[in-house]
Chain A
Amino acid sequence: MPVKVWTRDEEGKAVGSFQTGRGTKLGIKGIGQADALDRRLDDVLDGAFARHTELSRANGGVELSRFTSAWVVGEAFRVSGIVQDEALASEDPDFLWEAMSKKSSACKRSNGLEEENWKTLRPSDTSRDRGMDYWEMCLWLAEQDYSRTERTFGGKIMNAWSLLAAPTLKPLVLREALCDWLDDQDEEARKVIHKVRIFRKLLKQLRHKWPARGTRSALQPIHYSQEDLTAVLAKTIDLAEILGE
């Protein structure tokens, strides 16, 4: 199915073009579906911005942390159900994220009007290829409720990116189990574990347990219940080594 991708031309004018994936031909029907999807993306981005502003206000007008901002945006995407849009059926999900990121940076609504607000939703320095688009990361982050995801990563977006760098550690059940395991640690230890450098050490031990390539167990995190996985984590994580004791 095609999507509408907004870019800016040499003169800085926003231009929309229709793109298709998987060698699908672009037809009249497809153009109609892409336009409909583009209108829906307006709503999704507006919804995310509204939620963002609301929380920022509730926070006394203080700018949301990068972590909270990412979760709020992801939550808005999740609630909108945009990923399940019929136009995207059997398409590569990257297609959606590309269309959305370009649309928000071009600040172009489907009716042709400019929308500067959307710029605040996506940090400008997210061009680095981490194997997942920033929007997709937001959606992934929002798979957990805010309180639990905040406890899992210590409210640090770098920790989330670090975990995402290991494909075998992505499943929700692992984050939930990790949250339970962290809840079992004392407050002081948790603070230390959530330091970016220390969290990486923890992930290193988990990557060692579930490497992405080479000789590896057929039993991946996804094959365990949350409770069993928490027990496996407790057995796998060598806290003394992580904390350099």
Chain B
Amino acid sequence: MTERTARRAADNNVADVVNTIEAYGCGSIRALAQDPPQNALDARRNKGTIVHVIYRLFERSISDGEKMNILAITDSGTTGLDGPILTSADLEEREHRLGRLEIEQEENWAAFEANRYTKTDQEKLGSRGQGKYAYLYHSKHPISQGGADRMIILYDTLLTNGEYRLGVRYHNPATKVIEPPFINEDAKETISTIYKDEHFSIPLQLGPLTQAGTRIIIPFLSDEAVEAIQSGELLHWLQAEWWRAIQKRDMKITLINDLKGNSEDVLVPAWWDGEPWHRESPNYFVKEDIDLRSRNRDDRESWRIKRVVLSAGASIKDIEDWPAQFNGIQLLRGSQWIVTLDPKEYLDLIPKEHGLGFCGFVEFEQKLEGELREIERPAHDGFDGRKPLYKEIKNVLKGIVEEFSREQGWYEETVKYDPKQDELITEITAKLGIWKPTNPPPPELESDLWYCSVRANERRFDWGDSVSISATCHRHPALPGEMVVFKPSLITPRGARTDLNDYSRSQKLNGRNELKSSAGATFKELPIHAPIFKEPGRYKAVIDCFVNDDLVTTGGCSFYVNEEPPIPPQRVLLSVTAGNKHDGAREIPMDGELFWRVNVRNNTVDTVRGQLAVTVGPEVLQIERQEFQGVALGYKAEPVSFSNTRKIESLDLSQGRHVVRASVEDDEGKVLVSGSAVIFIGEGDENAREPELPFVLEQRENPMSPRWELEEPREGGDYKLKYYGNNKIFKFLRNTANQRRDRHPSENYMEEIVCEAIVEWAHCEHMRGDEGRMNDLVAGIKNLNSEAGENFESLVEKFVADNVEPQEYARIHRKLTSIIIDTL
């Protein structure tokens, strides 16, 4: 007969198990309902197989006619605990060699026996062995009357290759795993008779497993667990936890109670039975495929909520003992319930009398589920509420609950329209020149086109370095022989401009063809020290190009002194400008001509190939294949420009508002970037011409609203700036008697809100790849105050950078807002 010894599995003990399970927010019974099916699903044999988990409560006689309750949890449709059997020596050797205990993906037996390990290529929660604590916890019993506690579980498994194994683990109180396990006939013999060693004598008397799978046997079952099975509490937790997996036929769960002589399958709750949300019923509200603003770090694709189902629950609120876990919105991950958002979270949207019957659930797309797993609590009973992703999900859900509540007729937000506020936005946006194309008309539409590109040899310099600036002036069509004078100047971090007359250069234009001629200049190296460079920060070299004493064009580039440059967003960006060829305005008469210009900037390191398309209404203006070169990491790419014109008469466009859209798609049809600009065609009816505002204003009266909130457009609508009309300061200012001032104090309050929201709006558009709005904003501030504009531009570079920290983002947001307010 094989001699078996008990080896230490790890350093944990009874107290460790008790502490871990009692830290579960919802208690040890939820843990018992959660971990066995979760382990079974993780070990599912293949995607189409239904995993069957059976909980069976039975009793066995022990000494002196005493009875012992035992719970056996058996899964089938799974792989079983396969993989090699690793001895303690194997595990120690591995831990010593790798510096930590790492268990391979296929080593399931070893994973079940070990503790505090990491699975290779997997950072799954629960993979460190906490699952088996749920079983051990319920076998806790004293070694002797009044003595210390101990725990034990047995586990047998039938593998797909026919091999049979039985293992034993106990905490007495130190953790031990018997070694080697019982194999094949030995295992079957023990399972069908009694397990006996120097500490335990457990009559099992069970039939061996007949299907591949695993059975966990919990002897000395706690009174708490027995009571939970007898009272139906375990059944309830199993339903709350796994109803969706059962509905999707991924899993079946059966509870057999030999003490009562009954057997029950866990069912889908009546109100979700038959997926009633697919039917046309006013009781159910469904939203699918909701993109989040947060994006996947790898492919930059938006994360997506797969489905939100909400129910008014008219017929379910009367159910006796309406379970709290269903009352609210259940967040499911991998068909498993994680947490329920209480209806109290929506006090302002769900009236008290409807709160009881309100239920719903949320499912996420697979990629987002992976991300949520990262922020899930180890007990799988909630998410880290501090994480921005979770905050965003809750915000999105709040918007959906609002929509649902409105549809149910429960909620009618008081929205007051105040034309004065629209005037305020119109005034501010007009001053800033947002949405306005360049005026006078863009130079490329004139016969002579000049432009200048400027480069510094590095992005960052330290004190004592030298910066080398070079510039190239181009002219379309060619004009060889003309002398270009390059006059450099430097803009300091504070926005002051210093002319560098000593560094001026002259060069004649030359060119190989009639299309273009160029002149280049490399300036003397500028040493990075006083008096020119006095402080660390962003500097900008500006080169003015003169021909015959006339300024023909200007270019510039920025670099950083003794400060880490922000990393430009590693994306392809695009901006669209469109308007009247004649004067640059957005209004174009029916006999006028439309011009458009699309700038594409590839800030990634890779070359991007794709199709550029420009459309307006039903008309395709331009469609061509293009290649956009990448830039070195940390550099901002020069934009590639496309522009052209079309007579309005040649376009099938009615009078009124139209949107010029541009996009770049890769060869697979994936849209890399897109942008738009608005134009108005014809004189039209003034009333029909809606004011072009970055967002519409809505005053909210419901409590718990923030001071202001910019809501992104849904289904192609407008951005909404929602501000809280009952804000105490706002109310006070509004009620203040007219004072002898230029402007009422409440207008100043609104001005601040509008300016803050304009910054956020331009940033939202930039995040989507359309940098046109942010460019408008920079140009607008520069037009009003060039020094403030330079400062603004410098801050924007950091604001949109990939490496901006949240605190820094908030700080820059406030600064940008204050610059706008000061400048207006």
Is A214's CB within 8 Å of the partner chain B?
Answer: yes
In the complex, which residues 191-211 of chain A have their Cβ closer than 8 Å to any Cβ of chain B?
196-197, 200, 204, 207-209, 211
**Cβ–Cβ contact A222 & B674, under 8 A:** no
B461-469, B499-507, B665-673 - the one binding chain A: B665-673
Closest to A209 in B: B669
Partner of B665, one of A90, A131, A217, A220: A217
Q: Judging by beta carbons under 8 Å apart, are A90 and B685 in contact?
A: yes
Q: Does B618 lie within 8 Å of A211, measured CB to CB?
A: no
A57 at the interface (CB under 8 A from B): no
CB-defined interface of A159-198 with B at 8 Å, one 1/0 digit per residue?
0000000011000000000000000000000000000110
B618 engages A213 (CB within 8 Å) = no
> Contacts A158-B280, A200-B288, A211-B291; is A218 near B614 (CB within 8 Å)?
yes
| Inter-subunit contact B407/A128 (CB<8 Å) | yes
B645-665 CB mask vs A (1 if < 8 Å, else 0) is 000000000000000011101
Number of interface residues, chain A, beta carbon within 8 A: 31
Known: A22-B687, A223-B615. A213 touches B714 (CB 8 A): yes
Query: Closest Cβ of chain A: how far from B206's Cβ, in Å?
Result: 38
State whether the Cβ of B715 lies closer than 8 Å to any Cβ in chain A.
yes
**Smallest beta-carbon distance A121→chain B, Å:** 18
Contacts of B671 in A (CB 8 A): 215-217
Q: Are B291 and A217 in contact (CB under 8 A)?
A: no
Chain B residues whose CB sits within 8 angstroms of the CB of A90 once the complex forms = 685, 688
Q: Is the CB of B618 within 8 A of A223?
A: yes
Q: Is the CB of A216 within 8 A of B674?
A: yes
Contact indicator B715/A167 (Cβ below 8 Å)? yes
Nearest residue in A to B621 (C-beta to C-beta)?
A218
Q: Cβ of B685: which chain A residues have Cβ within 8 Å of it?
A: 90
Nearest chain A CB to B26 CB, angstrom units = 33
**Structural contact, B715 and A131, CB atoms closer than 8 A:** yes
| B-contacting residues, A90-134, CB 8 Å | 90, 125, 128-129, 131
Q: Residues of A contacting B440 with CB < 8 Å?
A: none
Q: Which residues of A contact B614 (CB under 8 A)?
A: 218
A61 contacts the other chain (Cβ, under 8 Å)? no
Is B687 in contact with A219, judged by CB distance below 8 angstroms?
no
Q: Please, which residue of chain B has its CB at the minimum distance from the CB of A167?
A: B716
Contact of B278 among A129, A196, A218 (CB under 8 A): A196
A236: min CB distance to chain B, Å: 8
B296 to chain A, nearest CB (A): 14
In whole angstroms, what is the CA distance A71 to B374 when docked? 50
The answer, yes or no, to whether A235 is at the interface (CB within 8 Å) is: yes
A129→B280 contact, CB < 8 A: no
A207 touches B289 (CB 8 A): yes
Q: Total A-B residue pairs with C-beta atoms closer than 8 Å?
A: 72
Majority secondary structure of chain A interface residues (helix, strand, loop or mixed):
loop
Q: Could you say which of A196, A209, A211, A218 has the most chain B C-beta atoms within 10 Å of its C-beta?
A: A218
> Shortest Cβ distance from A187 into chain B, in angstroms?
23
Question: For the complex, what is the distance from the CA of A96 to the CA of B674, rounded to whole Å?
Answer: 35
Bound: A207/B291 CA distance, A: 11
A212 at the interface (CB under 8 A from B): yes
**Among A90, A211, A212, A214, residue most surrounded by chain B Cβ atoms (within 10 Å):** A214
Contact with A along B720-760 (1 / 0, CB 8 A): 00000000000000000000000000000000000000000
CA distance A23 to B686 in the complex (A): 12
A22 neighbours in B (Cβ, 8 Å): 687-688
- Knowing A207-B289, A218-B614, A223-B618, the reply to whether A213 touches B663 (Cβ < 8 A) is no
Contact A214–B669 (Cβ < 8 Å): no
Binary interface encoding of chain B residues 246-284 relative to chain A, with 1 for a CB under 8 A from any of its CBs, else 0: 000000000000000000000000000001001010100
Least CB distance, B24 to chain A, in whole angstroms: 35
B317 at the interface (CB under 8 A from A): no
Q: Which residues of B contact A208 (CB under 8 A)?
A: 289
Given A129-B407, A219-B620, A220-B615 in contact, is the A213-B674 Cβ separation under 8 Å? no
Find out whether the CB atom of B289 lies under 8 angstroms from the CB atom of A218: no
How far does the alpha carbon of A126 sit from the alpha carbon of B656 in the complex, in Å?
32
A84 CB, nearest partner CB in chain B, Å: 14
* A215 near B615: Cβ-Cβ < 8 Å: no
What's the nearest-Cβ distance from chain B to residue A141, in Å? Answer: 16
A23 to B685, CA, bound (A): 13
Instruction: Report whether B282 and A218 are in contact in the complex, using a CB–CB cutoff of 8 Å.
Output: no
Q: Give every chain B residue within 8 A of A236 (Cβ-Cβ).
A: 669
Set B280, B291, B687: member contacting A214, Cβ < 8 A: B291
Binary CB contact string for chain A from 214 to 240 against chain B (1 if under 8 A, 0 otherwise): 111111101100000000000110000
Instruction: Give bound CA distance, A26 to B228, whole Å.
Output: 72
On whether the beta carbons of A223 and B620 are closer than 8 Å, the reply is yes
Complex CA distance for A241 and B716, rounded to whole angstroms: 27
- Complex Cα gap A178–B620 (Å): 22
Of chain A, the residue at the smallest CB distance from B687 is A22
In the complex, whether B7 has a CB less than 8 A from a CB of chain A is no
Q: How far is the CA of A240 from the CA of B713 in the complex (A)?
A: 33
A222 and B618 within 8 A (CB): yes
* Docked pose: A146 CA to B674 CA in angstroms: 37
* Known contacts A90-B685, A128-B282, A129-B407; is-contact A218 B618 (Cβ 8 Å): no
Which chain A residue has the least Cβ–Cβ distance from B278? A197
Residue of A nearest to B617 (CB): A222
**What's the minimum C-beta distance from B251 to chain A, rounded to whole angstroms?**
17
Residues of A within 8 A of B282 (CB): 125, 128
The answer to whether B613 and A217 touch across the interface, beta carbons within 8 angstroms, is yes
Q: How far is the CA of A196 from the CA of B277 in the complex (A)?
A: 11
B566 at the interface (CB under 8 A from A): no
What is the CA–CA distance of A125 and B618 in the complex, to the nearest angstrom? 35
Which residues of chain A are within 8 angstroms of B613 by Cβ–Cβ distance? 217-219
- Is B119 in the interface zone, CB < 8 Å from A? no
Q: How far is the CA of A212 from the CA of B289 in the complex (A)?
A: 12
Cβ contacts under 8 Å, B291 to chain A: 211, 213-214
A204 touches B288 (CB 8 A): yes
User: Using Cβ atoms and an 8 Å threshold, which residues of chain A touch B407?
Assistant: 128-129
**In chain A between 121 and 155, which residues have their CB closer than 8 angstroms to a CB of chain B?**
125, 128-129, 131
B769 interface contact, C-beta 8 A: yes
Write the chain B residue with the least CB distance to A166.
B715
> A216 touching B663 by the CB < 8 A rule?
yes
Closest to A168 in B: B716
Binary flags per residue of A62-90, CB closer than 8 Å to B gives 1, else 0: 00000000000000000000000000001
Q: Is the CB of B713 within 8 A of A213?
A: yes
Question: How far does the Cβ of B408 sit from chain A's closest Cβ, in whole Å?
Answer: 10
Interface membership of B116, Cβ < 8 A: no
Residue B188 at the chain A interface, CB threshold 8 Å: no
Contact with A along B668-685 (1 / 0, CB 8 A): 010111100000000001
- Is residue B302 contacting chain A, with contact meaning CB distance below 8 A? yes
CB-CB nearest in chain B for A22: B687
Closest to B770 in A: A215
Q: Which of A128, A212, A215, A236 has the most CB of B within 10 A?
A: A215
Quick check: A218 and B662 within 8 Å, CB to CB? yes
Is B768 part of the binding interface, using a Cβ–Cβ cutoff of 8 Å?
A: yes
How far, in angstroms, from A100 to B589 measured CA to CA in the complex? 36
Contact surface of B with A, Cβ cutoff 8 Å = 275, 278, 280, 282, 288-289, 291, 302, 407, 613-615, 618-620, 623, 661-663, 665, 669, 671-674, 685, 687-688, 712-716, 768-769
The 29 sampled A-B contact pairs (Cβ below 8 Å) are A125-B280, A128-B407, A129-B407, A131-B715, A158-B280, A167-B716, A197-B278, A204-B288, A209-B669, A211-B291, A212-B715, A213-B291, A213-B713, A214-B291, A214-B302, A214-B768, A215-B671, A215-B673, A216-B663, A217-B613, A218-B662, A218-B674, A219-B615, A219-B623, A219-B663, A220-B615, A223-B618, A223-B620, A236-B669
Give 6 nearest A-B pairs by CB, closest first.
Answer: A218-B661, A218-B663, A218-B613, A212-B716, A218-B615, A217-B663
Beyond A90-B688, A218-B661, 19 extra complex contacts between A and B, CB < 8 Å: A22-B687, A90-B685, A125-B280, A125-B282, A158-B280, A167-B715, A168-B716, A209-B669, A212-B715, A213-B716, A215-B674, A215-B769, A216-B674, A218-B613, A218-B614, A218-B615, A218-B674, A219-B665, A235-B669
Point out residues on A near B: beta carbons under 8 Å.
Answer: 22-23, 90, 125, 128-129, 131, 158, 167-168, 196-197, 200, 204, 207-209, 211-220, 222-223, 235-236
